[in-house]
Structures are given as structure tokens and as C-alpha cells.
Structure 1
Amino acid sequence: MRRIHFIGICGTAMATLAAMLKRKGLDVRGSDQDVYPPMSDFLASERIPTLTGYSGDHITGDLDLVVVGNAISRGNPELEEVLDRKIRYCSLPEAIREHFLWGARSIVIAGTHGKTTTTSLTGWLLTHGGVDPTVLVGGIARNFGDRGSSYRMGQGRDFVIEGDEYDSAFFDKTAKFLKYLPDIAVVNNVEFDHADIYTDFDAVMLAFRRLVRLVPRKGLLLVGADSAGARELLTGAVSRVQTFGTGSDVDWHAYDIETSGTATRFTVRHHGSPFGAFDMPLVGIHNVRNALAAIAVAAEVGIGAERIAEGLRLFGGIKRRLEVVGVADAVTVYDDFAHHPTAVAETLAGLRAANPDARIWAVFEPRSASSCRSVFQDDFAKAFGSANEVLIAPVFRSKLPEAERLSVPRLVRDLKARGQSAREAESFDGIVQIVVREHRRGDLVVLMSNGGFGGIHQKLLTALEGPREALA
């Protein structure tokens, strides 16, 4: 199998897999409706031919396989050509399994929150520990590549992969992680999410229960005991099981947690015995849990505590996870991917713990399929407690029926009823104007969205550098 075509190649995971297959020596190309930076730059740097727009003419007779992206549906001219001609096709997770996971020790990092950070941490600790893993992450890990990368190609037997519970393709609505042949599975937490494909929490739990049932008898399931949902999975395991968390009744216990500036220090016990003291350049209890899972995996594959501690200190972080994008007029602007109420709350709580006296602006765009919906209406009202100022942008999916759509006016009213300063912003430019007009030196501004947020990050930094009078 030499020639592979990707329909929808500009998705992060699709582009990453294409690059990995190219590195394996395969002839890879793809197409997408819109081809623009940063993915166009990434694909160009990987020397992967990319066609703009979809056309049946792109499906040539020399293709051995077509990988169909998650966003592709019936009616796409390339997909229709593939089906008409019975050309071999598969989903993204199937392609990963067939080309990388048979014969590997598959380490699947799953959970509603923290997957990208935990996958990056695990991949880096194994890399630093000398086991030379292959790593596939749903974000840009700064420890990989010259400028950060979403993947790492290794020569060892370990494959560390972010296990997404979202569905696989239009023809396969099961979770992606069910294709990943887990030898070691981490489930950090389980909550309701992805309201566009899961009807309720029980449906989410069913997907995770199926993952747990796939771990071999000699494999290992690592469960985040701080999550009630994850704890429910303990009864379904056939494999070995270990728990981790901040409570004392766990196999991997993090305690004596201290945050200072941009770093966190904590101590770990394993089965009640001292394992080591650790420092990391991340803040927040949620990141302690993420790191604890990575530590447990690293220990399982034979890396010693001192080497793990050294690797953790050298972790470079992930783009879009409380990433400082700039400082202007003594205001620090962060970019964060948070879009679930729990992720919003944990991100802001971590920043507050590191900066107890700072004025924090939480600027949130309801953009994801779940955050745009009313299902989290009450939960979002409780998520911004660590912020001093809250600005809510317009709902991205404004065409949702009103009864199903998150009500920003109601959210603002509920936040005010809880004693918070909260406002609805009519536009991204309006957000910039408010922050520039009202900011104080030393403020921290966290821009939270799972999308590009209209390029607001650079707009805000540029405006902060100019005179306030210009906005009057």
C-alpha cells in the first residue's frame, strides 16, 4: 500500500497522520475545502501535496487507500467517487491502527479533559527516559520538533496516542479510541460532553466502558480517582488496575501540592511508599492529575523516579493550554482551549492559585458543539468564580434553535447574581475595546475558545500597545 489520499486533510489529526505516513515512506496527498495557515504551512513543510476544494477528479486510479475525515459526509464529490468505484477507504483511527498500532505497545490517553496535556507529558517523559516512543497528540507539544509538533516518530515499541471519544467517521459513529488497541489505558476523568453525538452521560460512559474492556489481561488501566465518572469504570476492568489522584486512598497519590508563579511542586507516594518529589512548569490541580497519570505510565514502562522528575522539570508545555501569547502595557494575554465548564473552572483556578492578587479577565467564546448548547447553562454560571471580570462573546452556532442554544444574557444575569462582574459582548471588537479601556497594569486576560476567536489575541495586544484615547 503506497498511495494514500486524505479527504479533509486540513484537520489537525488528519494532517498529522498524513505527515507520519509520509515519514514512513508512503506517497501521501490530500484535499480540503479551505486550505489556509497554519495547516497549509504545516503540510507544505512536510511536502505533502494539498488540493483546494473537493472534486471527483482528485480520486485517481492509482490510489491504494482513501482516508475519510470525520467532517466528511455523503454528497462530497470525492467520497461519492470512492464509493462508486469501490476504492478501499477507512476512517482516521482505522488508518492509525493499521499502520502503527499492530505490534506496538499502545498507550492510550483518554478522558473528557486533559488528554492533550497528559499525552504530551507522557510522550515527553518516555522520550526523556530513553524508550524512544512514537507520539500522536491533538495539539502542539513544544518538546517535539524544532518549534513544537503534534507528533514524534520513534524507533521504540511504544506508541503514545491521545484517545478521543468523539466519533470516527460518517460510516462509523463509535469513539475513535476504540480502534487504538490499548495495552495501557489512562482515563483521567469522565463527564458529559459532545452533546452533538452523545445523548446523555450514560452514552458517554458506555464508550469509556467499551475502552476499558479492550485492555488485555496483562495490560494496565490507570483511573483518575478524583473523578466520580472515572471511578465507575473500575468494576468493568479485566486488566490490572491502578488509581491515581489527590486523595489518600489511591495507588498513585499526589500531596503537599504548592504553586509558585508559573510552577507547581508536589510529592508522590506509590502504594503508600515514597516515590519522589516533582516540579513542573504548569499550574493547577488538574495539571497535577495530568502529570500524575504520566508519571504512572513512565514508571510502568520502567523509567526511574529521578529520570521522570528531570523530564517533568523540562516539559515545554502545549500551545493553546494557558499559553502566554504576549504582554502589552503590563497586561499578560493568555490563549486557552477551554470550552467545557470544568475545563474553564480548572484553568481559571490554576491561574488564580499562581497569581492570588492579580485581576483576572475571563473572556469566553461559546463555540464548541456542547458549549453553544443550553445543556451547560447552569454549569457555566459556576465556572468563572476565580475571575474578577467576565466577558462572554456571542454564541458561535447562532443558528441553533433558541431552546437548545446557550443564553448569554441569562448566563450574565446568573454570574451577576453570584456577585461577579460579568458582561455580554456584542462583538470581538467590542471585547477589545472594553479590555483596553478598563485594564490596569498587571492584569491577566485569558481568552478561551476551541476556535480561532476571530484573531482577537493579536488584535488585543496591538490595541493595548496604543493610546486608550483612540478608543473613545
Structure 2
Amino acid sequence: MDLNNIKRFYFIGIGGIGMSALARYFKAKGFDVAGYDKTPSPLTDELQEEGIAIHFEDLGRNIPVAYREVESTLVVYTPAIPKTMGELVYVQEKHRVLKRSEVLGLITQTSKGLGVAGTHGKTTTSTMLAYVLSQSHVNCSAFLGGISSNFNSNVLVDPSAEYSVIEADEFDRSFLRLKPYASIITAMDPDHLDIYGTKESFIEGFQEYADKHKQNQLLIYKYGLPLRQTGFKGISYGINQQDAMVFGTGLHYENGRFLMDLHFGEEVWKEVVLGLPGIHNAENALAVAAMCRELGLSEAEIRSGLKNFKGVKRRFEYQVRTEKLVYIDDYAHHPTEIAALVSSIRLLYPDKKIIGVFQPHLFSRTRDFEAGFVSELGQLDEVIIMPIYPAREEPVPGVTSDELVRKIGKQATLKTPEQVLEFANTLKEGVVLTIGAGDIDRIVPEMKRILEKK
């Protein structure tokens, strides 16, 4: 499909983080943009303020008149939309209708797409990569899965840039529709088993993505991932992994900053300052440095970008930071992510009590990784479990937050969002975490207000 023949874009599910990035991109490029979402949110409010018309009821065949014109309208939808949704059924009768991932695939055909894939870390890593590139002589456009604290947006548009940074999402095998110029793969811990079925099938999905990188195309991947070399130029990275091609050593915390040494073969960059705390973010920074060095950025440009990167909303995001009380909000929704979060908190605050408020995301994920959730959440001094956020799923018999609480043990309790806020009023010290990928973020502003009073 030639996007040059399109005049307007209609997004069904426009309020999603990935869909809204595309909507903003095409709006910035001068196209007419409108769309539907199920419920208003701060993100849809921002889109409306930017001049994008959004409605929140299923209009069926009565979508805005201009967007009923077939020849120059492209409809984009997310797989999270039910197949029976009236507007989706109507547009599929006549319009050209593409998934979000297919549109990203078209964009990667007209620019050098830099994909960032991985079960964990892809949003922070892609946003970090976009920031470092944007502050260098290279520049880029970017489509991100979170709101960058530097850009205060999930999209970056630079019409003159030859590179596009794209978060390559494994859900629904979306990343297999991309045509990447080069990529980073951060992790391959099994997830989305409702889509892939088995661990082996999930890993093979990532291998298929890696195989998209033809002879000598660049693939940066975390050391130890089960990838078969198939012609791409592979560069492994890892913290304290001296068998990796690029590795970091001496990671330490000093005067409120994380620093480490970066090793590129015989070349060593001493005391590189990292803008984000956490062991997992040091790994992300290592991957970004490896990619940017290969793309021709100087050591000074990479050092500056890593130092000044402020992170992503809901990724290790400080809400309150005082001597007695710290409140951090994080998107972690897989046991491995929770383990990385808690280990980083222990490193930063070894003497403080850690209290976690966790909202499980999806019945299937809670079922598939129950043992992991029980183990990692059990490392917290106190844990509150909220009801499971179902998203697109129906309940699964026997899979409940009550069962998680029972298996975690004495330090775990079950609370509704309202009860969590009541609990917050009793806190005076320690580290408080809100953790999860559902709608737990809706209680964050009130949690922050309550805890700031302390």
C-alpha cells in the first residue's frame, strides 16, 4: 500500500499507547485524524487538545462523514477491539483496514526502522534509544509504548531523519510485520501464552523476528538469549558478562547517580553516568550504547544522552521522594520484571521496609506465571494484591487474587483500590510501590497526594 494516496486516518482504539503514537505521527505529518475509544482518559484528552476528534460510543455505520469516503481513508485498529464492534464491522466491508503493526510495517519500508523487542525493557530501551539519537547529529522519528519524560510524548516526528525507532511488540506476533533495518532484543522470557501456546512457540517467534535481519544486518541482543545465528551481524551485551561482545562492569551508586564502565572489546569508557537507577536500566543503557556506537554516534554524544535521559512514565517513576518516605510507580507485570524492580529497590534502599501494591494483569498471565508471582512478590516486606485486571479476557475458573494472597502468605492482603487509598493514609515511612499494567495508574495521583502530606 502507498501511504502517499491517503488523506485521512481513522483509528479504532485511538486511546491505546501504541495507537495514539501513530495518530500523533500522522497528525504531525498533516493528515486528518479522528477515532474511537471505549473510555476517556488523560491521553485521549491530550489528543483532543491536539486537534484530533475522538468519540466514546460505538457509532456503527455513522462514523464521521469525511471518514466514510473510502478511496483516501485508511482505517487502523488494534486487536484489543472486539471483532463484533459495530464500527469495525462496518469499515471492514468497504475500507482498507490495517492493524497498527501493519502500519508500522509500512513505515519501516520508507525509513530505516530500528526495532526494540523483548518481553521486558523494550519501552524504556526504545525511548532511551530515541532520546540519545535525537540529541546527536543522527536524529530520528520514534513510536514508543510509553510517555517519554524528556519528550512528554509517545511519538517523535523528524521528517528529515533517516531512522525510525519502533517498539517491536511480540503480542499477537505484531513484530513479525515489521521490516527492521537493525534491532535490539532485550529479553525472551515466555509471555502471552494465550497467543503462543507454549514456551517453545514463544521463543520461536523471537527467532523469526531475528531472522528478518538479513546478511550482516545489525542485531544487538542480551547475552545468553536462545537465538540461532542466521546471517545477521549479532552483538551480545551484558552486565559483568565478559564473554559478551559488549559488557558493563563496576556498576555502582554514588551521590544519587548510577555509574558503570562500558567495554567494547579493547576500548573502555570509564565511569559512564546513567540517568536511570536500577540494574535492569543499566542493561538497557548498555544495549543503547552498543546500537548507537554502531550507527556512528560519538562517545561524547552517547555519554551525554545516557546521562540526561529522564525515563518513561510508569517505569520506575518516582512520585514521592523524601528521607522517610519514597513512592515509586512501575509498569512491571511479569515475575521477571518484578524481580528486577525489587532487586533495584533493595540496592537503593537497603534499610527501608518495602511495601508493594500489585494489580495482576490478565487471568491467563496470572495462571501461567502464578509460581513466579508468588515467589517474587513474596520478597516484599508487605504486599497488597488488587483484583485481577481482565483487559480483553473472561474470568478463568480458580484464578483469583485471593488465591495469590493465600499462596504468598502472611505478609499479603487483598484490597480494592478504595481500600488501598485508605491504607496509604496510615503510612509514615518506607518505600511504597504501585506495580502493574492494568488501570492501577488511576489511583497513582491520589496515592501521591496522600503520601506527599506525610
Instruction: Tell me which of 111, 117, 142 is aligned to 1:135.
Output: 142
Secondary structure of 2:432's counterpart equals strand
Instruction: Tell me which of 69, 80, 102 is aligned to 1:94.
Output: 102
Gaps of 5+ in 2: 1-5
Instruction: Tell me which of 421, 430, 433 is aligned to 1:432.
Output: 421
How far residue 261 of structure 1 moved from its aligned partner, in angstroms, is 6.3
Secondary structure of 2:411's counterpart equals strand
Q: Give me the identity figure in percent.
A: 27
The answer (yes or no) to whether the contact 2:363–2:388 under 8 Å persists in 1 is: no
Call closer, same or farther: CA 1:213–1:466 in 2, change over 3 Å.
closer
- Calculate the TM-score normalised by the size of structure 2: 0.91
Deviations 1:361-414 (A, max 9, x none): 11111124544x3211111122135532222222233952324x1x44443344
Letter in 2 for 1:89: V
Call closer, same or farther: CA 1:336–1:261 in 2, change over 3 Å.
farther
Instruction: Specify the alignment match of 2:412 in structure 1.
Output: 423
Instruction: Tell me which of 140, 147, 154 is aligned to 1:150.
Output: 154
Secondary structure of 2:389's counterpart equals coil
Instruction: Tell me which of 308, 313, 319 is aligned to 1:314.
Output: 308
The answer (yes or no) to whether the contact 2:320–2:451 under 8 Å persists in 1 is: no
Secondary structure of 2:114's counterpart equals strand
How far residue 112 of structure 1 moved from its aligned partner, in angstroms, is 0.3
Give the paired residue count: 440
The answer (yes or no) to whether the contact 1:362–1:447 under 8 Å persists in 2 is: yes
Moved more, 377-386 or 283-292: 377-386
Instruction: Specify the alignment match of 2:51 in structure 1.
Output: 47
Instruction: Specify the alignment match of 2:3 in structure 1.
Output: none
1:304 paired to 2:298: yes
The answer (yes or no) to whether the contact 2:339–2:376 under 8 Å persists in 1 is: yes
Instruction: Specify the alignment match of 1:224 in structure 2.
Output: 222
Task: Map 1:223-242; keep pairs closer than 5 Å.
Answer: 223-225=221-223, 228=224, 230=225, 232-233=226-227, 235-242=228-235
Between the aligned partners of 1:209 and 1:30, the Cα distance in structure 2 is 35
Task: Map 1:62-461; keep pairs closer than 5 Å.
Answer: 62=70, 63-85=72-94, 87-98=95-106, 100-144=107-151, 148-154=152-158, 155-167=160-172, 175-225=173-223, 228=224, 230=225, 232-233=226-227, 235-246=228-239, 247-260=241-254, 262-326=256-320, 330-368=324-362, 370-371=364-365, 373-384=366-377, 386-397=379-390, 400-403=395-398, 405=399, 407-416=400-409, 422-437=411-426, 439-441=427-429, 443-453=430-440, 455-461=442-448
The answer (yes or no) to whether the contact 1:408–1:424 under 8 Å persists in 2 is: no
Call closer, same or farther: CA 1:456–1:52 in 2, change over 3 Å.
closer
Between the aligned partners of 1:362 and 1:183, the Cα distance in structure 2 is 40
How far residue 328 of structure 1 moved from its aligned partner, in angstroms, is 8.2
Between the aligned partners of 1:380 and 1:5, the Cα distance in structure 2 is 39
The answer (yes or no) to whether the contact 1:329–1:464 under 8 Å persists in 2 is: no
The answer (yes or no) to whether the contact 2:101–2:174 under 8 Å persists in 1 is: yes
- Calculate the TM-score normalised by the size of structure 1: 0.88
Between the aligned partners of 2:344 and 2:442, the Cα distance in structure 1 is 25
Moved more, 203-212 or 36-45: 36-45
Between the aligned partners of 2:322 and 2:254, the Cα distance in structure 1 is 23
Instruction: Specify the alignment match of 1:2 in structure 2.
Output: 7
Between the aligned partners of 2:321 and 2:304, the Cα distance in structure 1 is 29
